[in-house]
A and B are shown apart, each in its own frame.
Chain A
Amino acid sequence: MASGAGGANVAATCIQPENALSTVAILLSAFVLSVTALLVFIWSQRSSMFDKSAKAAEVIFAPGEIGTREDPAAGTALGLGNAELVDRARADASTAPLVFFFFCCAFAWLLVASAAGLTASIRLHEPDWLAHQPWLTFGRIRTIHLNAVAYGWAPMAGLGIALFVIPRLLKTPLVGAPFAFLGAALWNAALIAGLGAIAVGLSDGLEWLEIPWQIDILFVIGGALVGVPLVLTLVHRRVEHLYVSVWYMGCALFWFPVLFLVANVPGLHRGVQQAAMNWWFGHNVLGLFYTPLALASVYYFLPKIIGRPVQSYNLSLLGFWGLAFFYGQVGGHHLIGGPVPGWLISLSIVQSMMMIIPVLAFTVNQHQTLKGHLDALRTSPTLRFIGFGGLMYTASSIQGSFEALRIVNAVAHFTHFTVAHAHLGLYGFVTMVFFGAIYFIVPRVSGREWPSPGLIAAHFWFAAIGITIYFVSLTIGGWLQGEAMLDGSRPFMDSVTLTAPYLKWRSVGGALMAVGHVIFVVHFVMLLVGRSAGRVQPALLRNF
């Protein structure tokens, strides 16, 4: 596979044959070497990061908790005589106002992003609608959508969840919360300025990195301030074992600043090299920031809710280090067929396929853990969202691996197929997992139950059906579009006209998703204004 892709790119990069051969040889040996090193490394981590006993997997439970199901309830099932639970209550209390603030921001950005996404979608089949408003033109409103998702909804929800989970996992109250408050305020101010800049046409011009670098400085300061309490808490921790979720969240919090800083230094990147950097960043934001935050949530909430430790710690380790190693190098698959060096493309294709390993490790592990507890998927709102999200992680990752193969990529690249894939990952997986986690956390930070199981079920079904319509329509439409473009005997316009019905279906799916989000936020507001007064039972789903 490596040699095939490398060889075909020779033409594009004009490397002489003998050069290409040695490139492939170097690449292959580097690959074998690095995978061996990875295995040795994982082995060496075994003793430090987890015991041979299953102890480490049990740190998320207080004594006596294993075997009991837990779900969003303001009170706790076990008596307060349990010292662990007192600690946990303390950890929760230390983060409550902060987490609450992050979630409020996340909700606001979710609504902004949905409105912008829906507008962009409709503009693709009604191109003269609102055409007189510069800020509503497709190129700008689409970018506002992406940035509101990428720097608003996803990090606010993900960091809010991390701020809640990390003190729990370290059994230590959060240290230095005011830093994070200030940081979040700066971050949101930066995002407002950034979206405003895009709306008036000020942009750095790189996908995922449109916000002008002057504003990025605010993001850097804000992000660093949010990181301070997490580091302080890690230093003050009282547990020996770092639970799997801490690995993911801890690394994500260190990875993201590096990505963001390297990518945004003005004047550093140029031409084709800038394109390679662009997709190194674009894919790593997904793979090394949102994905680990969401996987950490699955590793925490799934076992917690069903009351059973994660099945295999060995698999967790493989999943984590596999992701850390392979994911970073897949970005080049966004440039297959492009004017970048052939070895870079080959490397990214190979590592995209290798991603199957950590993905399967995760999937098998969660499946084994859930075995025998499937009924909880029906009653627990959190588990239902997280279960759906976990499945979509597997689906979108495997799809992504194959999408990197040249034969598939030749069709799918440059089409709406990719957009479908992006939403399967960032919506079907990440966003659904975050929804589930928020359903668990909000009652604990507000001391109030969710008022209506019916609204939770409605949210779930609108989101699930919406993303299904979205994904299926764009996948089919995108594939047909790609095939039309590959057939030199068909005029280009064929690829435009044939997508029209699918783009309309995408708007339908997107509208359902947006309705789901409105229900979600309305429900949250109902909780805030006290509509749950008197409800002491957890809001479990029944007949939906």
Chain B
Amino acid sequence: MHSETRLLAGGMTMLSIATGALVVIPYLTVRDATPLEGLKPYTSAELRGRQVYIANGCVYCHSQQPRARSFAPDTERGWGRASVAGDYAYDTPHLLGTMRTGPDLFNIGARQPSEQWHLGHLYQPRAYAPDSIMPSYPYLFEAKDKVDPGDVEVMLPSGFAPPGKVIVASHEALDLVAYMKALDHGYPVLQAQPQPAAAASR
């Protein structure tokens, strides 16, 4: 009796079909999508910031994949046009996300270019959006008696800094904000029309 051989052979064949469809074909077609013209590689500060984003699990509340108008009003909300594979050419690991407890961040750099706003919002989201359920990240900041040379002070709306203290951003916070500001995928996508077809025929 070789029923176990047949069982396992059958089982592994089924998994291979699935792997072929969901892993191998995308590997051959979209893994090495050419970056769209206008997409810049991340600087080293932005990459460090991306790591801070990963370390603190921002991805469990924020997606980075605006959907088409036919699907959802993402564009109307100012989250940007629908993203395409070429937008993610420099994104490893991918941070597409599956939750929108908070807004999509794929174009947050265009929507909110102010470093001070980002720093203050990370220190205390409720200083800007009173009903926000985003966690505050006080551990990315330091409360000091006075500002030292080279420090970036965070200008909070009144009443949010501890009395008698100034809030200074850590390197991590500054890198993270650099990454936020780099999230700007407003360049047009039309130029790349023939590209997926070319990729498909490869």
Find chain A residues with CB under 8 A from B71 CB.
8, 337, 410
Find chain B residues with CB under 8 A from A340 CB.
26, 30, 85
The stretch that binds B, out of A125-133, A370-378, A527-535, is A125-133
Interchain CB contact (< 8 A) of A341 among B2, B26, B70? B26
Q: Is A341 in contact with B29, judged by CB distance below 8 angstroms?
A: yes
Q: Is A34 in contact with B17, judged by CB distance below 8 angstroms?
A: yes
Q: Is B135 in contact with A203, judged by CB distance below 8 angstroms?
A: no
Q: Is B60 in contact with A131, judged by CB distance below 8 angstroms?
A: no
A266 CB to nearest chain B CB (Å): 10
Main secondary structure of the interface of A (DSSP, over half): helix
A52 CB to nearest chain B CB (Å): 15
Bound complex: CA A133 to CA B139 (Å):
7
Q: Do A328 and B55 contact each other (CB < 8 Å), given the known contacts A11-B68, A45-B10, A273-B27?
A: no
Q: Does B155 contact A (CB under 8 A)?
A: no
Interchain CB contact (< 8 A) of A488 among B12, B33, B68, B73? B73
Q: Does A347 contact B (CB under 8 A)?
A: yes
Q: Does A29 contact B (CB under 8 A)?
A: no
Q: Is A254 in contact with B8, judged by CB distance below 8 angstroms?
A: yes
Contact bitstring A309-349, B, C-beta under 8 A = 1, else 0: 00000000000010011011101101101111100100110
Q: Is B197 in contact with A15, judged by CB distance below 8 angstroms?
A: yes
Find chain A residues with CB under 8 A from B23 CB.
262, 273, 276-277, 280
Find chain B residues with CB under 8 A from A143 CB.
57, 60
Q: Is B96 in contact with A14, judged by CB distance below 8 angstroms?
A: no
Find chain B residues with CB under 8 A from A414 CB.
63, 98-100
Find chain B residues with CB under 8 A from A344 CB.
21-22, 25-26
Q: Is A134 in contact with B139, judged by CB distance below 8 angstroms?
A: yes
Q: Do A492 and B103 contact each other (CB < 8 Å), given the known contacts A139-B58, A328-B15?
A: yes
A-B contact pairs, 26 of them (CB 8 A): A13-B196, A19-B200, A48-B1, A127-B134, A131-B135, A142-B57, A250-B7, A254-B12, A258-B19, A271-B33, A272-B31, A273-B23, A276-B22, A328-B15, A337-B68, A338-B65, A338-B83, A339-B85, A341-B196, A413-B98, A414-B100, A418-B98, A486-B73, A492-B103, A493-B129, A496-B133
Q: Is A325 in contact with B17, judged by CB distance below 8 angstroms?
A: yes
The stretch that binds B, out of A176-184, A204-212, A513-521, is A204-212
The stretch that binds A, out of B40-48, B146-154, B187-195, is B187-195
Q: Does B93 contact A (CB under 8 A)?
A: yes
Q: Is B54 in contact with A273, judged by CB distance below 8 angstroms?
A: no
Find chain A residues with CB under 8 A from B11 CB.
247, 250-251, 254-255, 324
A127 CB to nearest chain B CB (Å): 5
Q: Is B101 in contact with A496, judged by CB distance below 8 angstroms?
A: yes
Bound complex: CA A485 to CA B102 (Å):
11
Q: Do A251 and B8 contact each other (CB < 8 Å), given the known contacts A15-B196, A272-B85, A337-B68?
A: yes
Contact bitstring A360-404, B, C-beta under 8 A = 1, else 0: 000000000000000000000000000000000000000000000
When C-beta atoms are compared, the residue in chain A nearest to B140 turns out to be A134
Q: Is A339 in contact with B87, judged by CB distance below 8 angstroms?
A: yes
B158 CB to nearest chain A CB (Å): 18
Bound complex: CA A288 to CA B19 (Å):
12
Interface residues of A (CB under 8 A from B): 8, 11-16, 19, 34, 41, 45, 48-49, 123-125, 127-128, 131-134, 137-140, 142-143, 201-207, 234, 240-242, 247, 250-251, 254-255, 258-259, 262, 269-280, 284, 288, 321, 324-325, 327-329, 331-332, 334-335, 337-341, 344, 347-348, 410, 413-416, 418, 485-488, 492-493, 495-497, 500, 503
Q: Is B131 in contact with A497, judged by CB distance below 8 angstroms?
A: yes
Bound complex: CA A274 to CA B97 (Å):
12
Q: Is B94 in contact with A288, judged by CB distance below 8 angstroms?
A: no
Q: Do A14 and B84 contact each other (CB < 8 Å), given the known contacts A8-B70, A329-B22?
A: yes
Interchain CB contact (< 8 A) of B85 among A13, A202, A331, A337? A13
Q: Is A271 in contact with B92, judged by CB distance below 8 angstroms?
A: yes
Contact bitstring B159-178, A, C-beta under 8 A = 1, else 0: 00000000000000000000
Q: Is A328 in contact with B18, judged by CB distance below 8 angstroms?
A: yes
Q: Is A273 in contact with B31, judged by CB distance below 8 angstroms?
A: yes
Q: Does B76 contact A (CB under 8 A)?
A: yes
Bound complex: CA A327 to CA B92 (Å):
27
When C-beta atoms are compared, the residue in chain B nearest to A128 turns out to be B136
Q: Does B6 contact A (CB under 8 A)?
A: yes
A170 CB to nearest chain B CB (Å): 10
